[in-house]
Amino acid sequence: MHSKAYEQTLSRVRELCLALPETREVEAWGHPTFRAGKKMFAAFGQDGPDLTIGFKVGHERQAILLKDERFYPTPYAARQGWVSLYLDKNTDWQELQGLVREAYEQVALKRMMKALES
């Protein structure tokens, strides 16, 4: 059973991720993950009491984001260019929408990108 905050935050994350073309939610490692086709671009989780989202941004962007204290290397996936962000009352959901789209663009197929742009 998850807390109300967990459910509300997951609902907002779902809204951002599933708004993108051909995305779906898949339960993996006990967490909701979001995929474009077969490739994962975001994962929702919990680090102790903190709610988090991890996403694929690539190594160059990862280095930039990790300079910001809100971000940290995603456990088990940082070497593949993933970062994680703590989600709390100060989360900038506009910024997060952009980051989710950026992650999606890392894995989306050409036809998905066309659908995204139209």
Q: Which CATH architecture has domain 4-102?
A: Alpha-Beta Complex (3.90)
Give the mean pLDDT of 8-12. 96
What the block records as the tokens of 24 is 């779906």
| Cα dihedral 49/53/54/59 (nearest 10) | -110
Q: What is the mean pLDDT of the chain?
A: 94
pTM of the model: 0.93
What ranges do the domains of the chain cover? 4-102
What's the pLDDT band for 118 if we cut at 50, 70, 90?
confident
Q: Are 15 and 100 in contact (CB under 8 A)?
A: no
Mapped onto helix, strand or coil, the DSSP state of residue 59 is helix
Once rounded to an integer, what is the mean pLDDT over residues 3-28? 96
Q: Starting at the earlier edge strand, list the strands of the sheet with 82-87.
A: 23-28, 31-36, 39-47, 50-56, 82-87, 71-73
More confident residue, 1 or 13: 13
pLDDT tens for 47-73 read: 888 999 999 999 999 999 999 999 999
